[in-house]
Amino acid sequence: MDQTLTDIEARGTKAVVEPLIERARTSMAAIAKADQERTDELVIALAWSLYRSDRAASLARLAVEDTGLGNVPDKIIKNQRKTFGTLRDLLRVRSVGVIEEDPASGIVKFAKPVGVVAAVTPSTNPSATAVNKAMMALKGRNAVVVAPSPSGFATTSATVTAMRSELARIGAPADLVQALPPPASKEMTQALMEAADLVVVTGSQDNVRRAYQSGTPAIGVGAGNVPVIIDETADLDDAAQKIAASKTFDNATSCSSENSLVIIDGIYDEALAALRRAGGYLCTTDAAQRVRSALWQGGRLNRDLIAKDALVLAKAFALPKPAAAARFFMVEETDYGPAHPLSGEKLSLVLALYRAPDFEAAVEIVRRILDYQGRGHSCGIHTRDPERPRILAANVDVVRVLVNFAHTFGNGGGFDSGLNFTLSMGCGTWQKNSISENLSYRHFLNITHLARPIPEDRPSEETLFGRYWAKYGK
């Protein structure tokens, strides 16, 4: 923590948190003997609490009212799509009893709960993230206590109420899912993180750091700032349509939204024309300066403009009348770093454009963008060349590289993506995260390894050292 709680504050927050933890443990004990079928019913109940059309819509409306971020139609899609996809993933796997057995190694793996999970959720996805984490937690027969973002508190609280109601409807303990009571505070969240058995944080990097310092095992995620290459072999209209759909989804609230495009110089003008056809508006040099001035104030993103509708941005940037019809805005950039904020994450319908003379230079631009912000998270490429994605993946420090995707719809899982559905994406040690993959149910399990004797597997010294001896001697 960056400040020590006073004794009075500490006693006050503990008095609130301790009963929540106690009720969570009591509820876990009640489902300790649940078989896989019953465990999956709990998960389905949570999914249905948000997926049902009336609930997905009402919570989407509340989220926009509550946070001022995004838009209702896309939040409805997010509530349903992420929940449906996560349920698909979870119902295909075992999480109770024996989950893996390998006769060759003599190892049998038994899944056990991790305990009470503290789930810290962001304002950008106050419903979907809460349900997503709760589904994964209950898949492991754990209980979860949600710590809502202050600016999304009403939505997350209503979401938790819906999950509790659905659990009660199927005769399960409602206290398997709880939320911190109002008012939201860092002190209350900190007390919860210290009392829980596992902390899973999606949201601000301040909360991620606090989680790792809490003394409780923690999983945090990193900041996004996705750069995407468009090379000279790409289907430009396909790429532009996918980028536009991804960039504009929920007004760019997703950490997986494209933030920069790195376009090979030979097709730059053609790609720009395709992006315009997809609804992009290219800002002039003067307009680009107005974008920077409006979007960043005092060195920080202007909350009045992040995740807002395109028309709101067009007016704020004082763009000419043709911009009123745009879906997103493009600003040409040549450099990176704090003095060039457009090279960072924008959380808005603004894309930075970079020219690269060739593919090798494009990879270097991607690397430099990520070195400034977003290293470890993800990047992408639109190409018909099968080797270039492999080169990009081998040479850039990110957990995910997406090929010919609308990035937002593939990075956190998709029906045409092999990545599992999630709203929490680990970024590895590159962003001081404990995982370098998408958060999944496996992160909510303890595993007991049963080891049986197998035929001895002891190679000779020659097998292990022979090549080394031959090359360097003994």
Query: CA 356, CA 353: separation in Å to the nearest integer?
Result: 10
Query: CA 143, CA 115: separation in Å to the nearest integer?
Result: 7
Decide if 379 is catalytic: no
Hey, what are 458's tokens?
């002891």
Which of 244, 263, 291 minimizes the C-alpha distance to 406? Answer: 244
Residues in the chain: 474
The amino acid that residue 182 corresponds to is P
User: Is the Cα torsion angle 23, 189, 348, 243 positive or negative in sign?
Assistant: negative
State the alpha helices, DSSP H only, in 285-328.
285-295, 310-316
| 3-state SS, residue 346 | coil
Q: With contact defined as beta carbons under 8 Å apart, do 132 and 47 qualify?
A: no
The amino acid that residue 397 corresponds to is D
Q: With contact defined as beta carbons under 8 Å apart, do 326 and 311 qualify?
A: no
Residue 105 exposure: Cα atoms within 13 Å on the Cβ side? 9
List the catalytic residue out of 255, 283, 379, 427. 255
Radius of gyration for the chain, computed over Cα atoms and rounded to the nearest angstrom: 24
| 3-state SS, residue 184 | coil
Query: CA 243, CA 408: separation in Å to the nearest integer?
Result: 9
Q: With contact defined as beta carbons under 8 Å apart, do 213 and 205 qualify?
A: no
Residues 317, 318, 323: CA angle, nearest 5 degrees: 85
Query: CA 97, CA 251: separation in Å to the nearest integer?
Result: 43
Query: CA 405, CA 342: separation in Å to the nearest integer?
Result: 23
Phi-psi region of 142 (alpha: psi -120 to 50; beta: other; left: phi over 0): beta
Our measurement of the distance from residue 40's CA atom to the centroid of its chain's CA atoms, rounded to an integer in Å, reads 24
Residue 250 exposure: Cα atoms within 13 Å on the Cβ side? 26
Our measurement of the distance from residue 137's CA atom to the centroid of its chain's CA atoms, rounded to an integer in Å, reads 16
Phi, psi of 397 (to 5 degrees): -85, 80
Residues 126, 132, 134: CA angle, nearest 5 degrees: 100
Hey, what are 200's tokens?
């899973």
Provide the annotated active-site residues: 255
